[in-house]
Amino acid sequence: MARMRAVDAAVAVLQKEGIHTVFGVPGAAINPFYSAMERHGDFRHILGRHVEGASHMAEGFTRARAGNIGVCIGTSGPAGTDMITGMYSASADSIPILCITGQAPLARLHKEDFQAVDIESIAKPVTKMAVTVREAGLVPRVFQQAFQIMRSSRPGPVLIDLPIDVQLTEIEFDIDSYEPLPPYKPQASRAQIEKALSMMLDAERPVIVAGGGIINADASEQLVRFAEITGVPVIPTLMGWGTIPDDHPLMAGMAGLQTSHRYGNATLLSSDFVIGIGNRWANRHTGSVDAYTEGRTFVHIDIEPTQIGRVFNPDLGLVSDAGAALEKLVEVAEEWRQAGTLKDWTSWANSCQERKQTLLRKTHFDDVPMKPQRVYQCMNNHFGRDTCYVSAIGLSQIAAAQFLHVFEPRNWINCGQAGPLGWTVPAALGVRAADPDRTIVAVSGDYDFQFLIEELAAGAQFKLPYIHVLVNNAYLGLIRQAQRMFDMDYCVQLAFDNINYPEDQKQASGHYGVDHVAVVEGLGCKAIRVKTPDEFGPAIQQAKEWIATYQVPVVIEVILERVTNIAMGTELENVNEFEALAETLEDAPTALGNQRLSAD
């Protein structure tokens, strides 16, 4: 046993749990914790410009690699409330992050001290555990419990609030005998798996809906193996995108009201059996439950018991970690294949492939200002299979999901349920902090970009380079499109007569407002403005050269036409296709296996 401050014990536990990178903003009430990190000397701390930004960096860090847990640290009061959006985003998508806040002294709680707030109560609805530690001796064990809770069952965030006097109190603690607690992950039995597969054998047109739980379980290889053994097509959810490569013959496309493919919706509607693994039947995926479930049998496998039956009651529900379930699904399916028990669904899989090659949206527009569809065509043409895309919300995210291609798990990093504006920049920085080698490309609209644009300074300071494709239509595009049902265009315009905007760029852009190039450069990063498809390829090459030279984020601002409506609807069978559909493969060069256009 050794005598140490409670914060020194907490920091030692962080190290034992594998934490070496943290994000945050120091302040008076959390300075003791910072003194412990400085004393231990084995932490990489990335200083956010806004505590919400730091919480999204922690999210990006977790999402980037299996086993990661991002840590966000802040002082008392507004630092904790600033973290709430990050905790909500992490909770909604089953992402473990640890948020640590300082607090007023114990004797001053509930006395309206400066920057004192009951953050424990505020955070409880959006965390797996939120606790203000009132006994110094509990500090290391609360941290130990936090890591077990974050990793167990459905992963999620935890908040630990530390009064300043608790932080400074000396305790007895033996770090040498410390061991992380094993997480709890339920596992389906063989009998349950056999029941699910026997139900699949009764189907003529089965599909697998692959959710984000498969990525959390690091089980994408098992998913692909299960699909290949059975020959059953896969429909990833938005959070499960990348579990199977987009060009895999059994990848049938995403289904949904917005972030979906025409062929994915058509295949889901043509199916008669759905086995969902690690998914939650999100409303943007299903549309109305009655239309989604009509004529289909459902098996739902999820790690969280209360998730099964939450949206609709499946015909069979199994509580299991996605990885554990897939291991048994592969084992049993292989045995049944060798025994000749499995059905031959080749004809069904071939029909899914035919839809994939024909039900396409047009991308090859030559318009200037550019249409967003052409931007994503250019991105497909110029970024490789290993590219990791980061995106948040809005028409930019919806169009990205419709037109980009993802080939590996964790190469689509997205806040799927919460969708907070401003998420993209800090999340991309967190991904870069977790992975120094991967090609990282963020995509956002101009409003998302402006929300937490100041975090680019952290990217410059801490050498966290990535490419940010900023699609600028000077509009709150998704809200403008939604306002059509009210026959209005109200309070959603971002363009204004910026007296400092470069005169030679005004006419070329067709619209202007914030001079993003000037702001980005003022924050220590590099930026380039693109107005035509021909300029996109050279801009990417320039961005790569700048990254190699300066090791800072590089923004490519693409000037879009002001109004483009992106395909979406109220039901899977009623998605409104506003723009022209592809009549030939040449009209949709984002189709996999298609010849790229030299113009890009």
Whole-number Å distance between alpha carbons of 274 and 139: 46
Cis peptide before 369 (omega within 30 of 0): yes
Say whether 554 is catalytic.
no
Whole-number Å distance between alpha carbons of 408 and 385: 8
Sequence-ordered alpha helix ranges (H) in 178-219: 190-201, 212-216
- The residue from 11, 14, 19, 25 that is catalytic is 25
Kindly report the length of the chain.
Answer: 600
Say whether 234 is catalytic.
no
- Residue (of 584, 518, 527) closest to 550 by Cα position: 527
| Cα angle for residues 286, 290, 293 (degrees, 5° grid) | 65
Cβ proximity of 301 and 277 under 8 Å: yes
Give me the phi and psi of 579, to 5 degrees please: -100, 170
Cβ proximity of 129 and 145 under 8 Å: yes
Cβ proximity of 370 and 564 under 8 Å: no
Give 517's contacts (C-beta < 8 A, 6+ positions apart): 527, 528, 529, 555, 557
For 510: left if phi > 0, alpha if psi spans -120 to 50, otherwise beta; the answer is left
- The residue from 14, 46, 51, 467 that is catalytic is 51
- The residue from 11, 133, 329, 421 that is catalytic is 421
Say whether 223 is catalytic.
no
- The residue from 22, 476, 478, 572 that is catalytic is 476
Cβ proximity of 261 and 271 under 8 Å: no
- The residue from 168, 181, 316, 479 that is catalytic is 479
Tokens of 151: 């990793």
Which DSSP letter does residue 311 get? S
Say whether 552 is catalytic.
no
Say whether 25 is catalytic.
yes
Cβ proximity of 469 and 442 under 8 Å: yes
3-class DSSP string for 512-539:
CCCCHHHHHHHCCCEEEEECCHHHHHHH
Whole-number Å distance between alpha carbons of 194 and 200: 10
In the beta sheet, which residues pair with residue 236? 210
- Residue (of 523, 520, 503, 506) closest to 557 by Cα position: 520
Sequence-ordered alpha helix ranges (H) in 113-189: 119-123, 139-151, 164-168
Give 445's contacts (C-beta < 8 A, 6+ positions apart): 394, 395, 396, 470, 471, 472, 473, 477
Residues labelled catalytic: 25, 51, 421, 476, 479
